[in-house]
Structures are given as C-alpha cells and as structure tokens.
Amino acid sequence: MKPLYFILPLLVFCLFESPLSAAETSPEPLTLNAGLHPLDWVIIAIYAISTIFLGWYFSRGQEDTSEYFVGSGQMNPILIGVSLFATLLSTITYLSTPGEILGKGPVYLIKDLAMPFIFLIVGFVMIPVYMRQRVTSAYELLEEKLGLGIRLLGAIMFVSLRLIWMSLLVYLTAKAITTMLNVGEEWIPYIVLGTGLVAIIYTSLGGLRAVVITDLIQTILLFGGALLVIATITYHLGGFSWFPTQWDQHWDTQPFFSFDPATRVTYVGTFLSIMVWYVATACGDQVSVQRFMSTKDASAARKSLAVQLSVSVIVSLTLAMVGFALLGYFKEFPNEIPAGIDLKKDADKFFPHYIAYHLPVGISGCVVSAMFAAAMSSIDSGVNSITAVVMTDFLDRFDKSPRTEKGHVFTARLLAFGIGTIVVLSSSVMGSIPGNITAVTNKTANLLTTPIFCLFFFALFIPYSRPAGVIVGAILGTTTAVLIAFSGPIFMGPNEPDPISFQWIAPAAVTVNIASGCLVSYLIASFQHRKKLASN
C-alpha cells in the first residue's frame, strides 16, 4: 500500500485549502466560482500523474501474464471487492443516480434491496462452481462443455460489450465535463482523448495490481466528492431542509407494479432488472470473473463480493442524497438554474453544473478528479479484461502468442494500448442514443450482458445443453433485448417514446434466452438419444 502516500496530501488539501467560510449563514446563492479555477486543474493534473506513476510502479515486478492479469491469484479480497465496485460504478452511475433521483423520483433506490439476494445467488451457487476451475479467461470454462465455437462466441460477445460500455462512459464523462467548462460539445473528442490516454497508459503498464490499487483511490475520491457536495449544500442552507418530506410535483409516477409495459420505472421492474444485471455481470463478465480468480479460494471470492455489494449500497444511498440535495438547492434558488435547462428534462446536467459553478475552488478539482476517476476505473478494468480474453482465447488458444513470458507481457501491454485507442475513437458515436443516462446505459449494457451469462448457465447448470440450442437462445435473447431497448423507433417511429420500459430488457432477454435454449437443446438431446437407441 506504500504507493498511496502521494494521494493523502491531495485529499487533505482538497478538504482544508478551500473552506466554506465564503458562504454566508443566510440562505443566498452559493456562487463561489465561475467554472474551474487553475487550482482545480492543478489538482486534476496531480491525480492523473499519480495514476501513471502507479502503473509504472507495478510494472517493475511483472515477470509473467499470471501476475499481469490476475495478480498471481493471491490478491486481498477486500481490495478486489472495492475494485469490483469501482469498475461497475463508473462515471455513468456517478452522474446518473443523482440525475435520476432529482428528475424522475427515488424509486430507483429499490435496487439496493436486491443486494442480499444477489449475494446468495452469486456467492453460494455460482462462485463455488467457478472457483473449482482456475482460469485466466472466464470463457475457457465454456469450451469443455459446449465446444470451441461457444467459447469464441462468448469471448467475442464480451469484447463487444466492454467496447460499447467503455465508449459510452468516456463519452458521458466528456459530455459532463463540457457542462463544467461551459464549452460546446465540439470539445468532447479532446476531453475523451485526455481521459482515455491516462487510463490506457497506467493500465497497459501496471496490469491488474495497478488497476486494483487505483480503483481503491478512485472509490475514495468518488465517495468523498459526493459527501463534499452534500456538505456544501447542507452548510449553505443551514441544515437538512433539502431532504424531501413528500413526493415532488415534477417527479414521475412510479408505482409498485404496472401492467402497462411503457411505465418507465416501477418497484418490481427496478428490483428484477438490477438483480438480473448483477447476477449476469458477476457470472458472465470477464471483469468480474477475473477479479474472483485473483483471490485465493471461493471463501475469499465470496468475501470480495460481499465488500462490493456493501460499498455499492453505501455509495448508492450517498448519491441519492446528492440528488435530493441538488433538487432542494435549485428549488430554493431557481434563479441559479442556467438558461435553457429544465429540472426534469435536463436533470443529468445539474450535478456537473453544481460542481463547476457552486463549489469552492479546490473542492471542484477534487470532485472533477472523482469523475475522471470513475471513468478511468471502468476503462482500466475493461482494457485489462479484454486484453486477457484476446491473449487467452485467441492468441494462446491457437498457438499464436510469443514463446517467452516476457514476450507475453509485452504483447499484453501493446494489446491494452490498442484496445484503449479503439475505445477513444468509437466513443464519438454514442451521442446518437436517445434517453437520459440511466436509460441509455440500460439500452447498451444490457444488450449483451444477459446473453453472455446464459452461455455459462447452459455450460455449468444444464446437463442436456447442446451448442445449437445455446446459439439459438443467444440469438433470440439478444434480439429480444434489442427490440425492447429500441422499441420506440422500431415499432412507433422516429423520436417516439418506447412502448416498453428499459427496465424489462434484462428480465425479458434472460427469460427468452434460457427458455428457447433449453427447449431446442432438449429437442436435440432427445433426438440424439432416440437415434442412439435405434442404432443399437
């Protein structure tokens, strides 16, 4: 943990260098700075340089790809759990949760009630099965039962998913930063380039150990940044008057359940959507499986999962408080709302706007660093995991990899750099997907998350599964996800609202995938059995 020494002075500086004494005790608008101050940029630069230093620091001891990809399988489960949380949180959740709470309502928080069920399913049903077979790539598990073709299908689907995911998050991060800088969206490619370049450098150098340690620092920054926003608003308003005591008039109707599939958010839909997504990600995504494999055994992996889910609940509730606090502040001071921005329609813009224009100098730099940190935590993990899959499932599997371990590590670093470059270049197309951050994320991340999980479900838990049935299930499941995600443009016409909520993408896709795959596999297995009996 010695490399953390350089980050502590930065955190202390952020907390004490820019006191809140500039605010009056009477409730007046807290406009302390007009955009980011040069001091804020110094803090951001220190953070970026520190992460690159970490990558170099951990690169010195790498002798083989086992160390590079899974930390030799002996990493601290608490660190792994925090890293898993940071990877799956990202800037998307950091921005979308306050925006969703502020603009739509608090029912999204029902997702936290799903965490105990997720822990039981993943921790006691799935992890013991996975940890019996130590692998670098999760998709190695598919070949033994379902053949090379399904292994390659899983690997290709994962690479596609993570490329889309990373492209989306760096785009959304850059878009939020343009709000802070008060510049046009033509600056997005340059901000994407800066964010991606730093993450690519330290990831390609340091491997999984650098990723995990920087994820810990990034989690501290994320949580601290959210607390600083809550603290400044609470201090300025003289208490917790921002906390809502009744349903706000501009929030959506969010019922317990609705038979109308177009209802955007319900209690039941939120619970099912989050539970399916978490289970599918933990059990089918190389990012998660690779983290579990870096721990000692199933018990350690389960501990890392418990840490991940616990931190997720804590930060989720904190970000919800940020949404409530922002809503209270801007309702108290409506003249502080920028021209052309609406509390309901543009809710995602208020968090970055407040960071840039209403936080004291220095604190803004810390919170912006947290946003960059969130993006980098997902980029670094995604790049490292994709590199592991490409090396293991394609180069090593077909005997195309270098002959020496040093050559392996060098090739892995080149791949990591190339993959990161693809992410930066492909982020430019993400602006065409309609919806707020929460909806856009579900319309991209859930398209392939459940089909990948279903490959593992068939391989590990369905004894009569057949490759043809698995492929049919994957095709129908993915088609279902696409049809729901873009149901408005497909069935209603351009710019029309979706007749089916994004919350039903994951539950519907996994149901169709498993049902159709099991049916086709059963029919094939029955036919093969009858044919075998007839031949005897």
Q: At residue 209, what is the residue type? A: R
Distance CA 214, CA 198 (A): 12
Distance CA 479, CA 505 (A): 10
* pLDDT at 376 exceeding the cut of 70: no
Q: At residue 527, what is the residue type? A: F
pLDDT category at 3 given cuts 50, 70, 90 is: very low
* pLDDT (mean) for 5-9: 37
CA dihedral over 350, 353, 359, 363, signed as positive or negative: positive
Maximum separation of any 2 CA atoms in the chain, in Å: 91
Q: How far apart are the first and last CA of the chain?
A: 65
Instruction: Tell me the percentage of the chain whose pLDDT exceeds 70.
Output: 76
| pLDDT at residue number 358 | 81
Tokens of 44: 């951001």
* pLDDT (mean) for 186-213: 68
* pLDDT (mean) for 395-419: 74
Task: Give residue-wise pLDDT tens across range 204-241.
Answer: 555 556 666 766 777 777 788 788 889 989 998 999 99
- Exposure string of 504-530, with b = 16+ CB inside 10 Å and e = fewer, is bbbbbbbebbbebbbebbeebbeeeee
Least confident of 160-174, 175-189, 505-519: 175-189
- Exposure string of 196-230, with b = 16+ CB inside 10 Å and e = fewer, is bebbbbbbbbbbbbbbbbbbbbbbbbbbbbbebbb
Query: In the block, which residue shows the tokens 């936290």?
Result: 112
| pLDDT at residue number 525 | 94
pLDDT category at 116 given cuts 50, 70, 90 is: very high
- What are the φ/ψ torsions at residue 89 (nearest 5 degrees)? -75, -70
* pLDDT (mean) for 424-446: 64
Distance CA 40, CA 47 (A): 11
Evaluate whether 453 touches 474 at the Cβ level (below 8 Å): no
| pLDDT at residue number 207 | 54
pLDDT category at 351 given cuts 50, 70, 90 is: confident
Task: Give residue-wise pLDDT tens across range 15-29.
Answer: 334 333 333 334 444
| pLDDT at residue number 141 | 84
Evaluate whether 36 touches 368 at the Cβ level (below 8 Å): yes
Instruction: Tell me the percentage of the chain whose pLDDT exceeds 90.
Output: 25
* pLDDT at 425 exceeding the cut of 60: yes
Q: At residue 120, what is the residue type? A: L
* pLDDT at 428 exceeding the cut of 60: yes
**Model confidence, pTM:** 0.77
Evaluate whether 254 touches 266 at the Cβ level (below 8 Å): yes
pLDDT category at 74 given cuts 50, 70, 90 is: low
Displacement of CA 199 from its chain's centroid (Å): 15
pLDDT category at 172 given cuts 50, 70, 90 is: confident
How large is the C-alpha radius of gyration of the chain? 23
CB atoms < 10 A from the CB of 158, how many?
A: 27
Distance CA 394, CA 300 (A): 29
Evaluate whether 85 touches 423 at the Cβ level (below 8 Å): no
Distance CA 188, CA 172 (A): 9
DSSP 16: H
Tokens of 255: 């019922």
Least confident of 43-57, 126-140, 218-232: 43-57
* pLDDT at 113 exceeding the cut of 90: yes
* pLDDT at 380 exceeding the cut of 90: no
* pLDDT at 84 exceeding the cut of 90: no
Task: Give residue-wise pLDDT tens across range 310-341.
Answer: 988 998 999 999 999 999 999 998 888 887 78
